[in-house]
């Protein structure tokens, strides 16, 4: 079967095949958009690879997470935090947490 036929088979409600409890790890917004088209439960999203330093990361992360959350429906989005994080950066994470919670964005936070 080709990838296109596989996708059609999975998305056909008459077929008994269901992907249950499937989670995918992605590191850029294009992959979020791609995997959101499939019947998965959770996307682990680590956009830290897109930036060379923490300042750029935290300057852009709100926009990146917002775009990611707008491109998913019925899928949990898990924000994977950078491996090394300072006390100052934890404050930024808490600020973003409050902002996204108020906006009712479906984002869960995950620290490796």
- Could you give the maximum distance between any two Cα atoms of the chain, in Å? 51
pTM of the model: 0.72
Whether residue 44 contacts residue 79, with contact meaning beta carbons closer than 8 Å, is answered with: no
pLDDT in tens, 6-35: 555 555 555 545 556 788 999 999 999 999
Q: How far apart are the first and last CA of the chain?
A: 37
What is the chain's alpha carbon radius of gyration, rounded to the nearest angstrom? 16
Q: Give the containing element (helix H, strand E) for 26.
A: strand 23-26
User: Which residues, 6 or more positions from 13, have their beta carbon under 8 angstroms from its beta carbon?
Assistant: none
Q: With bands split at pLDDT 50, 70 and 90, how would you rate the model's confidence at 1?
A: very low
Ranges of H-type helices in 1-112: 3-11, 29-35, 54-70, 87-102
């Amino acid at each position: 079967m080709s990838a296109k036929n596989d996708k059609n088979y999975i998305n056909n409600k008459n077929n008994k095949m269901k992907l249950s409890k499937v989670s995918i790890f992605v590191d850029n917004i294009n992959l979020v958009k791609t995997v959101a088209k499939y019947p998965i439960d959770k996307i682990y999203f680590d956009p830290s690879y897109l930036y060379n330093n923490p300042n750029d990361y935290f300057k852009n992360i709100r926009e990146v997470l917002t775009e990611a959350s707008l491109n998913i429906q019925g899928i949990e989005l898990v924000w994977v935090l950078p491996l090394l994080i300072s006390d100052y950066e934890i404050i930024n994470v808490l600020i973003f947490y409050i902002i996204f919670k108020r906006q009712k964005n479906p984002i869960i936070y995950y620290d490796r």
